[in-house]
């Protein structure tokens, strides 16, 4: 790369979502992709100037939320329905960030995801917006691959 070459960030609208075994179409929103490390304060006897701050386990504080326009494809609804009846079908989910030429530049892989909430569209007679459904997924963690 030449000195002073400009590196633009990737655009947040250029992504794909893959869910094992489900053909679901495109999503308009993916939110909740976050991880944090717990911090434990430790007071050492005789040391009063500061407290030690130690790293704890990783937490995934929120669920992943996927939103898409309502279509004839019922696979997300049926997956949620299975969980409601006690058949928890865990699936791996991948979120692929693409560059402007549609080449994959980042992939976040979520392990053992399963639906914990489905929300239907807000319907309003005076509007002309797309009907959107959302699916909230709990997971066992994710990695950048």
Tokens of 56: 């704890």
Q: pLDDT-based confidence at 137, cuts 50/70/90?
A: very high
Closest CA to 91 of 141, 20, 27: 20
**CB of 92 within 8 A of CB of 30?**
no
**CB of 68 within 8 A of CB of 28?**
yes
Q: For a pLDDT cut of 90, what percent of the chain falls above it?
A: 75
Q: Which residues pair with 108 in a beta bridge?
A: 95, 144
Check whether 116 has a pLDDT greater than 90. yes
Q: pLDDT-based confidence at 25, cuts 50/70/90?
A: confident
Mean predicted lDDT score pLDDT of the chain: 91
**CB of 138 within 8 A of CB of 114?**
yes
């Amino acid at each position: 790369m030449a000195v002073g070459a400009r590196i633009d960030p990737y655009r947040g609208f250029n992504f794909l979502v893959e869910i094992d075994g489900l053909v679901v179409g495109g999503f308009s929103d993916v939110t909740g992709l976050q991880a944090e490390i717990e911090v434990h304060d430790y007071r050492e006897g005789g040391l009063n100037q500061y407290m030690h701050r130690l790293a704890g386990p990783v937490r995934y504080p929120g669920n992943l939320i996927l939103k898409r326009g309502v279509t004839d494809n019922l696979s997300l609804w049926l997956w949620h329905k299975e969980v409601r009846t006690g058949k928890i079908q865990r699936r791996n989910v991948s979120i692929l960030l693409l560059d402007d030429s549609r080449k994959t530049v980042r992939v976040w892989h979520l392990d053992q995801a399963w639906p914990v909430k489905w929300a239907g569209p807000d319907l309003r007679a005076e509007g002309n917006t797309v009907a959107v459904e959302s699916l909230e997924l709990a997971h066992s963690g994710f990695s950048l691959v």
